[in-house]
Structure 1
Amino acid sequence: MPPALPRFAGVLEHRSVWISVGMHPRDLASDSFTTVFPGYLTPTAFPCSLNAMGWVLQNRALPGSMPSHATAALLWGLPLPARIEGGIGMLPVAEQLGDGTLVVPAVPTGTALGDDATLPVLHCLLPRGGRTRIGRGAVVHRGGPVATSQVGKLHLPVQGEVLRQLGTVLRPWDLVAVVEAMIGPQSRYPGQSVDTLHAVLASNPGRAGTPAARRALGRALPDVRSPGETVMRLVIEAVGLPQPVPNLRVSDPRDRSARYIDLAWEDVRLGLEYDGDGHRTTKGQWRRDEERRDQLAGLGWTLVRANGDDLRRPLRILLRIRDALARHGAVVPDAARIRRRLAAVVATHPAARMDR
């Protein structure tokens, strides 16, 4: 009788180790196990994390490699569009462990490996020369040495290097969202700024991705709390509407408390609240959001609400914002001009979070 698999939840080991703990080769060849890298398997019903995949790749399956590109971004807790690399951006980031390390499950919430989900393919960086292929489970990139940082048990490229790597694969506005996640108030690993990121890029200015990363740094703002807010702000600006202020602080003189508006036009007291998926997960979150909106309305603010569907197809929300700004006396372009500009924007596909 093989050992019960739940006790090995999250384990990723070589087949020889699995056999040493009582597994039979036919168990390892069955649907009960999934091969992650050649010779390394994890229980299908209780799969390993992305962190474990990165550690095994770095130390055993391909020694000397380092997670890079989208893989490193996830391990840094950075947001990626869901529509790249088979939905890798949908992988959730769990709470930090005792040492502050983020844990990234290898399958999206609510899915099962082997049923409706597959393991992500890891990206890794190797020095030039020597072995270049692993067989399965990873894409190997060759390159010169990069600055690194210890994140839990993993060595990762520093965030500035990850930004450069993502500059080769992400759309321009999605790359701005990564920068704003690095420098913003919701940063999972704070301490970055536009200046520190520029300094990393300056160390190897000729490397691929550097121009795109620099352009993203030039458009980034420091107080943005979500990638949806980033892309929404950029499309608002692109169609010629007045530029909003992200996360404007509004003081309530009645109780001296403060409220924040995702995107605000302070001179006309109009705000746009972007509701990501997290706003719909619990009744408690919904009630807190509604209470905050009621308080802001009591201070004379008019709020427009948007969600992920509005971001994917933004014409409707853009026209609502235009009409609301016009009612409050702001100078805005006419609807026909917004339609023309949006069509031009969509043609360039600046963000994977927007429909083509």
Structure 2
Amino acid sequence: MSRLVTHRQLRAEGFDAHEVSRKVSAGSFHRIRRGVYLDGEPKDDRVGRYLVQCCAVLARCGPETVLSHASAAAAWGLPLPWAALGTVHVIQPRRKGGRSRAGVCVHRAKLGDDACLRFGHRVTTLPRTLVDLGRSLDLGWAVAAMDDALHHQRCAHHELATALRDQAGRPGCRGAARAVALADHRSESVGESLSRVLLVQAGLGPDELQHEFPHSNGVDRVDFWWECGVVGEFDGQLKYRAQAMPGMSPDEVLWAEKQREDRLRRRGLVVVRWTWDELLHQPEVVVARIREALATARAAPRPS
């Protein structure tokens, strides 16, 4: 099993500088940061490599230092944009003398009861982490993280409100308050969360999430529902996999989805779909498509 070791620990175990250098050259030790090495194989995924960097920073800090912001979010397994994985964030007491440096952002704050252990690492609690994300990330990703925690029942909305109240007056609290107000446990994916924030910001917020339409063989549940008769669906591959029953082929899943959409359209509903690529790179196209669908639905009488 891989482990992080500091230069001081290696000296205590009997390694001298030359032996450490030889192990680094041989690939059995991997230098993570100055004075911190990974004894074993490095992680092969982006978040895993980032967490190793986070742990390496902690290994060089005192016991009062905790991972925070995006770094704590990665430890909690929350969704994050790739751009957030470039800097390690830690909180230290105001009296400590450490400073931000390349790749490390040091925040000064009192933690009180807002610190805990996560897989043996010192991190901010989940509610505090989510509020810190609300203060530091853009609104869409902050809401996505909160939605994820609420949906999986890892955090309650009143805990977010309490953590927000405890951070009152700190920079970014207004953005965090907006994220808390928008957070919704019914959102089932990052794409749905980012889509909802995009639509709310465009003044096109849906009337309901995960609205259900019963039919003779079950229920059709949709991502977004506007009462004028418009259905919005974020097309993510995870949704198709989740809908697939064991033994169903991709073609069978797509056919079932087509039948589902046909049922919705037979109700006289306007169905609008968008993809990850459109959401991330052409959000104005998504907004225009929804706006047009709403105008069409409001202008046309719906069948009863």
* Both proteins in one fold, TM over 0.5: yes
Q: Which of 232, 236, 240 is 2:199 aligned to? A: 236
Distance in 2, matches of 1:40 and 1:286, equals: 50
CA spacing shift, 1:251–1:31, aligned 2, 3 Å: farther
1:177 aligns with 2:172: no
Counterpart of 1:66 in structure 2 is: 66
Distance in 2, matches of 1:286 and 1:17, equals: 55
**Equivalent residues in 2 for 1:213-292, closer than 5 Å:** 213-241=176-204, 243-252=206-215, 254-255=216-217, 257-268=218-229, 270-276=230-236, 278=238, 287-288=252-253, 290-292=255-257
Counterpart of 1:335 in structure 2 is: none
Following superposition, the deviation at residue 143 of structure 1 comes to 1.3
Tell me how many residue pairs correspond in the alignment. 281
Counterpart of 2:77 in structure 1 is: 77
CA spacing shift, 1:138–1:284, aligned 2, 3 Å: farther
Structure showing greater relative contact order (alpha-carbon pairs closer than 8 Å, 6 or more residues apart): 1
Q: Percent identity?
A: 22
Instruction: Say if 1:37 and 1:61, in contact at 8 Å, map to a contact too.
Output: no
1:143 aligns with 2:109: yes
Following superposition, the deviation at residue 286 of structure 1 comes to 7.3
Instruction: Say if 1:36 and 1:137, in contact at 8 Å, map to a contact too.
Output: no
SS in 2 for 1:30: helix
Instruction: Say if 2:42 and 2:49, in contact at 8 Å, map to a contact too.
Output: no
User: How big is each residue's C-alpha offset from its partner over 1:148-187, in whole Å with a ceiling of 9 and x where there is no partner?
Assistant: 233222232122211332233212233222222222x2x3
Following superposition, the deviation at residue 224 of structure 1 comes to 1.0
Following superposition, the deviation at residue 69 of structure 1 comes to 0.8
Larger deviation, residues 202-211 vs 307-316: 202-211
Distance in 2, matches of 1:153 and 1:197, equals: 24
Counterpart of 2:287 in structure 1 is: 318
Structure 1's unaligned 5+ residue stretches are 1-7, 89-119, 333-356
Distance in 2, matches of 1:145 and 1:137, equals: 22
Larger % of helix: which? 2
Larger deviation, residues 41-50 vs 288-297: 41-50
SS in 2 for 1:167: helix
* Matching residue's letter, 1:224: S
Q: So what's the TM-score if we normalise by structure 1? A: 0.66
Following superposition, the deviation at residue 279 of structure 1 comes to 5.6
Instruction: Say if 1:247 and 1:262, in contact at 8 Å, map to a contact too.
Output: yes
Distance in 1, matches of 2:154 and 2:41, equals: 38
CA spacing shift, 1:293–1:222, aligned 2, 3 Å: farther
Distance in 1, matches of 2:146 and 2:225, equals: 21
**Equivalent residues in 2 for 1:1-356, closer than 5 Å:** 10-15=2-7, 17=10, 24-30=19-25, 32=27, 33-42=29-38, 46-47=42-43, 50-55=50-55, 57-58=57-58, 60-64=59-63, 65-82=65-82, 84-85=83-84, 88=85, 120-133=86-99, 138-146=104-112, 147-183=114-150, 185=151, 187=152, 190-241=153-204, 243-252=206-215, 254-255=216-217, 257-268=218-229, 270-276=230-236, 278=238, 287-288=252-253, 290-299=255-264, 300=266, 302-311=270-279, 312-327=281-296, 329-330=297-298
Following superposition, the deviation at residue 196 of structure 1 comes to 1.6
Distance in 2, matches of 1:180 and 1:174, equals: 10
Instruction: Say if 1:297 and 1:303, in contact at 8 Å, map to a contact too.
Output: no
Distance in 1, matches of 2:100 and 2:6, equals: 15
Distance in 2, matches of 1:219 and 1:288, equals: 32
* Matching residue's letter, 2:88: L
Following superposition, the deviation at residue 248 of structure 1 comes to 1.7
Distance in 1, matches of 2:146 and 2:249, equals: 30
Following superposition, the deviation at residue 306 of structure 1 comes to 0.9
Distance in 2, matches of 1:34 and 1:140, equals: 25
Larger deviation, residues 127-136 vs 68-77: 127-136
CA spacing shift, 1:174–1:55, aligned 2, 3 Å: closer
Instruction: Say if 2:80 and 2:141, in contact at 8 Å, map to a contact too.
Output: yes
Following superposition, the deviation at residue 70 of structure 1 comes to 0.5
Q: So what's the TM-score if we normalise by structure 2? A: 0.75
User: How big is each residue's C-alpha offset from its partner over 1:11-33, in whole Å with a ceiling of 9 and x where there is no partner?
Assistant: 32235649868993343453835
